[in-house]
Amino acid sequence: MATVLAIETSCDETSVAIVKNRKICSSIIASQIPVHQQYGGVVPEVASRQHLETINEAISLALEQAELGWGEINGIAATCAPGLVGALLVGLTAAKTLSIVHQKPFLGIHHLEGHIYATYLSEPTLEPPFLSLLVSGGHTSLIYVKDCGMYESLGETRDDAAGEAFDKVARLLALGYPGGPIIDQLAQQGNPQAFTLPEGKVSLPHGGYHPYDASFSGLKTAVLRLVQQSEKQGKSLKVEDVAASFQETVARSLTKRAITCALDYGLSTITVGGGVAANSGLRRNLQAAAATHNLRVLFPPLKLCTDNAAMIGCAAADHLNRGHTSSLTLGVQSRLPLSQVMELYDNHS
Ligand code: KG4
Ligand code: ZN
The pLDDT value given to residue 341: 97
Q: Is 135 found in the same domain as 256?
A: yes
Any domain includes 157: yes
pLDDT at residue 168 tops 80: yes
Which of 43-47, 68-72, 192-196 is predicted least confidently?
Answer: 43-47
Tell me which of 9, 11, 166 to substitute to probe ligand 1's pocket, judged by most ligand atoms within 8 Å of the beta carbon. 166
Q: Is 153 helix (H, G, I), strand (E, B) or coil?
A: strand
Same domain, 180 and 68: no
Is the domain of 104 the same as that of 242?
A: no
User: 18: helix, coil or strand?
Assistant: strand
- Concatenating the DSSP letter of every residue in 42-53 gives --HHHHHHHHHH
For ligand 1, atom 13, name the residue with the nearest CA: 180
Q: Are residues 160 and 291 in the same domain?
A: yes
pTM score, two decimals? Answer: 0.95
pLDDT digits (tens, 9 = 90+) for 307-327: 999 999 999 999 999 999 999
Q: In this predicted structure, what is the pLDDT of residue 349? A: 54
- Which of the pair, 142 or 34, is modelled with greater confidence? 142
Both 283 and 167 in one domain: the answer is yes
Sign of the dihedral through C-alpha 265, 266, 272, 273:
negative
Report the pLDDT averaged over residues 80-104: 97
335 belongs to a structural domain: yes
Return the CATH number at 67: 3.30.420.40
- 152 bridge partner residues: 144
Q: Would you say how long the chain is, in residues?
A: 349
pLDDT of residue 348: 62
Q: Which domain holds residue 193?
A: 129-303
Angle between helices 111-122 and 309-321 (to 10 degrees): 90
Which of the four pLDDT bands, split at 50, 70 and 90, describes residue 170? very high
Q: Is the pLDDT of residue 330 over 90?
A: yes
- For residues 159 and 262, state if they share a domain: yes
Q: Are residue 239 and residue 137 in the same domain, yes or no?
A: yes
What is the percent of the chain where pLDDT is above 70? 99
Number of domains into which the chain is organized: 2
The yes-or-no verdict on residue 35 having pLDDT over 90 is: no
Per the DSSP assignment, residues forming a β-bridge with 31 are 13
Look at ligand 1, atom 21, and give the residue with the nearest C-alpha. 275
Atom of ligand 1 nearest to the CA of 83: 6
Burial class (CB in 10 A: 0-12, 13-18, 19+), 201: middle
Q: Same domain for 286 and 158?
A: yes
∠ Cα 54 60 61 (to 5°): 85
179 pLDDT higher than 60 = yes
pLDDT averaged over every residue in the chain: 95
Q: What angle do CA 168, 170, 174 make, to 5 degrees?
A: 115
- Measured in Å, residue 279 CA sits from the centre of ligand 1 at 8
Query: pLDDT per residue over 100-132, tens digit each?
Result: 999 999 999 999 999 999 999 999 999 999 999
Q: What is the pLDDT of residue 39?
A: 85
Ligand 1 atom nearest the C-alpha of 111 is 6
Q: Label residues 320-342 b or e (16+ Cβ within 10 Å = b).
A: bebebbbeeebebbeebebeebe
Determine the pLDDT at residue 218.
Answer: 95
Q: Could you tell me if residue 15 is inside a domain?
A: yes
DSSP, collapsed to helix, strand or coil, labels residue 265 as: coil
Of the listed ranges 79-88, 209-218, 339-348, the least confidently predicted one is 339-348
Q: Is 213 in the same domain as 272?
A: yes
The arithmetic mean of pLDDT across residues 37-46, rounded, is 84
pLDDT at 275 over 70: yes
On whether residue 349 sits in a domain, the answer given is no
139 with 284, same domain?
Answer: yes
Ligand 1 environment, Cβ below 6 A: 11, 136-138, 163, 166-167, 178-181, 184, 274-276, 278-279, 306-307
Residues 288 and 188 in one domain: yes
Asked if the structure places residue 223 within a domain, the reply is yes
122 lies in a domain? Answer: no
Whether residue 263 is found in the same domain as residue 285:
yes
Q: What percent of the chain has pLDDT over 90?
A: 89
Q: Is the pLDDT of residue 347 over 90?
A: no
